[in-house]
Amino acid sequence: MKHTLSLFENSIDSLNESLKTFERAKNGGVRQYKFAILNFCQFAELLFKYFAWKAEPDKIIYKTKSGHEKSIDLWKSLKILSTKGVEVDDQLRSDLEWIKKIRNDIEHYEFSFEVEEIELFSGKILSSIIKYASEYQDLELIWHVDDDSKETIVYLAKNYDDKLNVALAVVQQEEDLDSAECLSNGGIETYWRKYDCPDCNNSTLISNNASDTGYKCVFCGNDDSDEMEIECDSCSNLWEKSELSYYDYTGEGHFRYMCPVCLHHPDYVKDD
């Protein structure tokens, strides 16, 4: 018996299978996360290919140099949508790159993961895709999800939102404490800083005295960013990490951060 799925039906089938696999993983089958991610990535790629097909039906299939027919990938689908003015935002694109990288590791290399991280970011991406489909494609994805999988969507999305809300509340509390300290010191600025975390893309990377770098993201735990300010080990002035050199000042493996002024970089040396 022949069974045919349209492009859209194929994507929804992968989504439903991914959600069922997430449920099995959540109930103790940790290895199932691997297959949940594979199905989830397939869902995302097929769905955006479907959106691209609606916009440009003649550009979904192309011929290779050898004459074989192939369909476009996720990134070409997003490019087509961009030309039609219905592009995904930078945040969703970044998240799609993240989960595609994990899929690539699963298929071609070693694979390691934190259960909480997989659940959090899968929930985040799914929530963003549902929102995009509703706002830009007039499609309510939740209507096409199997009834017994809808609770899993709520679980994944709620898991992410709850933790992010808690993290943002912590950041706000720390920011309020810093403002109060600044006022009590006559307006003198403190060293407390907040940055966008390059790992989770939330504004939750803040000063943390217990961290080796002096900073830590209260959402995902990352403690590094090229934008964060750290002291030059020579002059003690604050610089963005990206502007500092990690310099072997003895030539024998003794490294420290050095600013361009202390290294006499020509752009920072005053003419006599």
Domains parsed from the chain with CATH numbers: 7-145 (1.20.120), 189-268 (no CATH)
Higher pLDDT: 260 or 12? It is: 12
> How confident is the prediction for the chain on average, in pLDDT?
88
pLDDT tens sequence across 226-249: 888 888 888 888 888 888 888 777
Over residues 95-143, the pLDDT tens digits come to 899 888 888 989 888 888 888 888 988 999 998 999 999 999 999 999 9
pLDDT at 52: 96
The tens digit of pLDDT for each residue in 89-100 reads: 998 998 899 888
pLDDT, tens digit (0-9, with 9 covering 90-100), for 22-55: 999 989 888 899 999 999 999 999 999 999 999 9
Residues 6+ apart with CB under 8 A from 239: 229, 230, 231, 232, 259
Per-residue confidence (pLDDT) for residue 209, from 0 to 100: 87
Select the more confidently predicted residue: 66 or 61: 61
